[in-house]
Structure 1
Amino acid sequence: MEKFEELIQSEKPVLVDFFATWCGPCKAMHPVLEELKNEIGDAARIAKIDVDQHEELAARYRIQAVPTFIVFKKGEAVWRHSGVISGKDLKAVIEQNS
């Protein structure tokens, strides 16, 4: 996997899902994200970061609840949301930042 810093430098928005394997709401978001990925195609990237495996990233972005979603563009966090969110809302955020 490419380095996180390289990934978030993209001109296109990058939606990062900070999740944990033990988290029920995170599991509920999985099919939502799969469907979103199909809908947006290559308009944006979707990355999943396991907070238990990447504690330093979780700390750097102050992830206190999972799932937390952050949209990055050119290395900047442009949007953030903690908790379950609809695919429709995520798609709207990606389109606003495209």
Structure 2
Amino acid sequence: METFKDIIQSDKPVLVDFYAEWCGPCKAMSPIVTEVARNLQGKARVIKVDIDKSQAAAQAYQVQAVPTFMIFQNGAVKWRHSGMLDKHTLMNMLEQYS
């Protein structure tokens, strides 16, 4: 099974959506994140990480607010944003690295 570490080592950009089930803005962002993933299929990867189930990952990257979005490439954090975003901003950020 692929680990978080394996996934973020990709040379393609990986958007990580750190979220929580109880978070209203996270729920609002969910369809946007799904659409971005669909639009960038093959160019970038999108994964969701529940901070309550993956506390180690959330702590390792000092995620203190949800949603927090991060773009990883070759294991390095290339971009980070906490809070809601529109689809175009997310797409543009990922396209810069793909």
Shorter-chain TM range is: over 0.9
Indicate the RMSD between aligned Cα atoms, in angstroms: 0.8
Listed as ranges, the matches of 1:1-98 within 5 Å are: 2-98=2-98
For the residues of structure 2 that align with 1:85 and 1:8, how far apart are their CA atoms? Answer: 21
**Gap runs ≥5 in structure 2:** none
**Gap runs ≥5 in structure 1:** none
Q: TM-score, normalised by structure 1?
A: 0.97
For the residues of structure 1 that align with 2:60 and 2:38, how far apart are their CA atoms? Answer: 30
Q: Deviations over 1:48-82 (max 9, x none)?
A: 00000011110000000000000000000000000
Give, in angstroms, the shift of residue 37 of structure 1.
1.4
Q: Deviations over 1:2-41 (max 9, x none)?
A: 1000000001000000000000000000110111112111
For the residues of structure 1 that align with 2:85 and 2:34, how far apart are their CA atoms? Answer: 14
Number of residue pairs aligned between Structure 1 and Structure 2: 98
Percent of residue pairs bearing the same amino acid type: 49
For the residues of structure 2 that align with 1:37 and 1:73, how far apart are their CA atoms? Answer: 16
